[in-house]
Structure 1
Amino acid sequence: MKRLQISQQEIVLAVFVALFIACSVLLTGFLTSDNMLTLMQNVAVLGILGLAMSIVVIGRGIDISLIAALAVPPGIALQMVLDGQPLALAIVVAFLVAMVIGLFNGWLIAFAEIPSIFATLASGLLLAGFGQTFIFDLDVVPWSDGMAGFEKLGQGTFVGIPMPVIMFSLAAISVAILLRTTRWGAFIYALGDNPDTARATGVKTRPMIVMQYVLAALIGCFAGLVLASSVHSMPTRIFNSTLIYDVILVVVLGGIGLSGGRGGVVNVILGTLLIGTMLNGMTIMNMPYSVQNLVKGIVLLAAVIADSFINPRNEETSQQGDI
């Protein structure tokens, strides 16, 4: 008789459904149109960031500078428009800045061989500090008349679906196509599964690492533009928040192994729904910020421990994975 096996995706889906039902029944105001709109907008931005992080984690890395890529390039775009520059130029500059961030991260990790967690932590601090010191006049860069029309990226609906959710869906489809149907996607999985084997089979691992971080920064910039158009400003101090931990929670809890080479877009979607619902529920309950951080820390620790059991270490290949 075959042993009944339940995947991590099924567990996360079941927990999300149970949590959503519990919040709907027990929390006044949870299942209202206004709160659902807020939930979907927050989930969308968190999900786009999760997609960016997933590309890096599947390739056996991590990007702590992702929130800086979310805040600074879009903040530069809003600042440029506020100062009288054309909107199109400002958007191009924002993505160019994000690309430079990704290239810098990739070079530090692939060629200088600095561990990704330290390289991206340093670059994120550098970028955020540079922006707050030399570029932004205010901590919250305001919306200006020159941005007219761009708010449609994060506001309004399309066939009844909020635009941020549409943006998340488009980003998810794009990342899924990259990971599952292209050679680059196959190389990312190969690199995450076993870098030495990937290199031996002809994969140019260093350029692939650089590409991962460039893509992550560009997607992070896109998430920032969606966020800015949703709230009509860019709060640059968001870099100092715990948002990066929420993104890591989405990826790990969704089922993308920290050891690399496993997971995909479906895992990000499930993790986003679960974490988004949990955060929204805690907010409605008026939980103090410190208590919310405590809960998130416990959940993240449990997810990391679960990941180590689900993907036990394979001593023959010096990596974690199914054995």
Structure 2
Amino acid sequence: MALKRLSQQGIVFGIFAVLFLAFAIFLPGFATTQNMFTLLQNVAVLGILGLAMALVVIGRGIDISLIAALAVPPGLVLQMVQDGSSLPTALAAALALSLVFGAVNGWLIAYAEVPSLFTTLATGLFLAGLGQAALFKLDVVQWSAGMDGFERLGQGRLLGIPMPIIVFAIVCLVVAFLLRQTRFGAYIYALGDNPYGARVTGIPTRPLIVLQYVLAALIGCFAGLVMAASVNSMPTRIFNSTMIYDVILVVVLGGIGLSGGRGGVLNVVIGTLLIGTMLNGMTIMDVSYSGQNLVKGVVLLVAVITDSFLNPRNEETAQQGDI
């Protein structure tokens, strides 16, 4: 199995290398420093969301509500500041909303034992509806004077490198540390590999599941703040976009098995680089949005089929009901 995982990761990286080289040779303007920064900056938020999804998928779950967590709490920050609240107060409110949202997701999955796919689909719809009905005055929440300075999180540069790229790198390091150097990470891999075995050995699986979804919601909120700072607004209807499929594509294509217990930060980075290169190349070639969705759909289907072969479901997984 370790050889299979290595082969999948190697294959995906090889595809990325070939695609990158082909675009560099045949697409004018692709292999420039400015375009490379643009490529990485455009997929930084997607990569951060991919890390949040990876934390859940490694533990044998899935979080369809991530885009709601991306849009609503950061949108609340912009709306509260626009209405006269201080930035620290607004950030505290968004943090509290994300914590409650993640905890509700985790409780429903861990204690009520509702499958994660249906739980997060329902809670994501609820949070998005709550934002549209009660929290936001307009679909696009605009920047206001009280947010001045905060835009550096998305538009600033450090040593010439755009801040979103640096933020993505920092989140990668933090998640890698959690997964590889802490007991929490070891427990997540054990949970994803064999939930019943993990419970028998004394691992607190239910609180662990709750913590997974809380962390995913917090990371999603942070990604939304980076996104809002990048464009000086929060388009709250992004929940209705296909972005969640892009996040799943990054995770699965990168080599994190949907059966759980496998993968890590490097897989997310590889998946993000491949998707970023593909989207950047199609944009330079002036491929329409519909055409890009068609290509992404085909790639996602191939990735899921490949995952089913390289990470086959075992009898225990079948009894578990997957995700």
Q: TM-score, normalised by structure 2?
A: 0.94
Q: What code does the residue aligned with 2:190 have?
A: A
3-state SS of 1:313 partner:
coil
| 1:180-259 correspondence runs (5 A) | 180-259=180-259
Q: Flag structure 2 segments of 5+ consecutive residues without an equivalent.
A: none
The answer as to 2:250 corresponding to 1:263 is: no
The answer as to 2:70 corresponding to 1:73 is: no
The whole-number CA distance in structure 2 between the counterparts of 1:231 and 1:112 is: 39
Between stretches 213-222 and 84-93, larger displacement belongs to 84-93
Between stretches 303-312 and 37-46, larger displacement belongs to 37-46
Q: How big is each residue's C-alpha offset from its partner over 1:196-232, in whole Å with a ceiling of 9 and x where there is no partner?
A: 0000000111111100000000000000000111111
**2:290 aligns to what?**
290
The whole-number CA distance in structure 2 between the counterparts of 1:272 and 1:78 is: 28
The answer as to 2:313 corresponding to 1:313 is: yes
Q: Flag structure 1 segments of 5+ consecutive residues without an equivalent.
A: none
**1:145 aligns to what?**
145
The whole-number CA distance in structure 2 between the counterparts of 1:97 and 1:37 is: 33
Q: What code does the residue aligned with 1:15 have?
A: I
3-state SS of 1:100 partner:
helix
CA contact (8 A) 2:5 2:310 kept: no
The answer as to 2:173 corresponding to 1:173 is: yes
Between stretches 218-227 and 306-315, larger displacement belongs to 306-315
Change (3 A) 1:78 1:6: closer
CA contact (8 A) 2:41 2:162 kept: yes
Q: How big is each residue's C-alpha offset from its partner over 1:78-99, in whole Å with a ceiling of 9 and x where there is no partner?
A: 1111111111111111111111
Change (3 A) 1:10 1:137: same
CA contact (8 A) 2:77 2:90 kept: yes
**2:117 aligns to what?**
117
The whole-number CA distance in structure 1 between the counterparts of 2:166 and 2:8 is: 26
**2:61 aligns to what?**
61
CA contact (8 A) 2:259 2:312 kept: no
3-state SS of 1:141 partner:
strand
CA contact (8 A) 2:259 2:313 kept: no
Change (3 A) 1:319 1:154: farther
Aligned length: 318
Q: How big is each residue's C-alpha offset from its partner over 1:245-300, in whole Å with a ceiling of 9 and x where there is no partner?
A: 00000000000000000000000000000011111222222222222111111101
The whole-number CA distance in structure 1 between the counterparts of 2:25 and 2:243 is: 28
RMSD of Structure 2 on Structure 1 (CA)? 1.8
The whole-number CA distance in structure 1 between the counterparts of 2:184 and 2:316 is: 26
**1:304 aligns to what?**
304
